Amino acid sequence: MSPSLDSAARNVHLNSHEVPLGNFPLFETTSIDEAQARVGRLFCSHALHADMARSRFYSCVNSALLGELSLSYVRYEGDIQIDIDELEGFYLVSIPLSGATRVTCGGQSVVSRATIGTIQSPGMPVQVEWGPAGEKIVVKIPESTVERRVINIMGDTLTKPIKFHLGMNIENGFGEVVRNIVVNAAVAVNESSEMQQSKSATNLIEEILLNSLLLGQQHTYSERLMTPASPAIPYYVRRAEEFIAENLSKPISYDDIVSASNVSGRTLLSGFKRFRNTTPMQFMKARRLEKVHADLLQATPDDTITKIAMRWGFFHLGRFSNYYFKRFGELPSDTINQHFRRLTDDVKGDVAAH
């Protein structure tokens, strides 16, 4: 470990506390191979390196689901390094409890300690260096959940992936809200199994957490979110959007959308251009591409790119690939191949752990 990380670790004030999420144990081990396999299944495939010559290795993870999110208590002992090719389809919000880690993601690097948390964005390589003993609560948030929240706040479609600034001040402001909601949610879930079953409670926690992240942490759309709200979206635009959402897998036409909106085609087009900065058909294409992306990230061996694309109304595969690349910055084959490689690595990890 580097001297700067050692120093940061020593400066952390360790408060005595019960192990978070203790009623949801996932594993406890001194085996590097087992830890790599079990954490890989929880988050994603990664390489775990430990300097056994300097210190013993130990890892403990507790984890619980909370609606679309997952909360995990993660502890490592020993000088270790974790390397991830890229996060696939989710964000990781890390709230340090003790110790210090150096986190590198997307060209940014921060030392995470008592006052500094991190949020790692999908599609970028990640490296984490853990100190001799470190503890975090880690929240895993699906990329689609964050995208849906941003779209709802902006009232507009996304033109590029949402990337957050890595380091997050959790000592005050919105960052402190994030830390408090994460820590308190972990306590509440651990104390009451009813918390996980309460949709209103999980929705409220998710809303506060996401809004605090989006309003307090710098990201791709921060400037757009801070722009004063535009006039109310007309009812006919909302009606058209609802019709599109309910019929994405069906061969609907522009005339169908116009008919559902109950206004003229010219009025509908003008409304979409003014309030959504797009056309109804482009809006529908964007929603369909998001559905394809989500299905590719959950594909089974029986699925093919062609089958998934056609499921959501893309029948010209050449044009579809171009649309997909412009939206997600990679080809559909890249997305599904990365997904299958992760599944293969998970299987190998299971075999190695046993």
pLDDT of residue 92: 97
> Is the pLDDT reported for residue 231 higher than 80?
no
Question: For the chain, first and last CA: distance in Å?
Answer: 31
**Other Cβ atoms within 10 Å of 245 Cβ, number:** 11
Is the pLDDT assigned to residue 89 strictly greater than 80?
A: yes
Rounded average pLDDT over 160-165:
94
What percent of the chain lies above the pLDDT cut of 90?
69
126 touches 153 (CB < 8 A)? no
Instruction: Look up residue 219 and give its DSSP letter.
Output: B
| Average pLDDT, integer, range 305-309 | 95
How many CA atoms does the CB half-sphere of 204 hold within 13 Å?
10
pLDDT digits (tens, 9 = 90+) for 324-333: 999 888 899 9
DSSP 234: P
Q: What is the mean pLDDT of residues 113-125?
A: 94
Mean pLDDT for 60-77 is 95
Which pLDDT belongs to residue 354?
A: 56
Task: With a cut of 60, say whether residue 94 has pLDDT above it.
Answer: yes
Mean pLDDT (whole number) for 98-110:
92
Residue 348 has a pLDDT of 57
Q: What is the pLDDT confidence band of residue 2, given thresholds at 50, 70 and 90?
A: very low
Contact 109, 102 (CB under 8 A): yes
Tokens read off for 123: 């599609």
Q: Which domains does the chain have, with CATH numbers?
A: 3-224 (2.60.120.10), 235-341 (1.10.10.60)
Question: What tokens were used for 232?
Answer: 């109310």
| Residue-level pLDDT at 228 | 62
| Residue 22 pLDDT grade (very low, low, confident, very high; cuts 50, 70, 90) | very high
pLDDT for res 287 = 94
The per-residue pLDDT for 194 is 82
- What digits encode the pLDDT tens for the residues 235-266? 999 999 999 999 999 999 999 999 999 999 99
What does the pLDDT look like over 340-349, one tens digit per residue?
A: 887 776 555 5
Q: With CA atoms as reference, report the closest residue to 237 among 204, 277, 177.
A: 277
- Place 10 in a pLDDT band, splitting at 50, 70 and 90: very low
- Check residue 353 and give its pLDDT: 56
pLDDT of residue 12: 34
Split at pLDDT 50, 70, 90, the class of 351 is low
| 352 or 84: which leads in pLDDT | 84
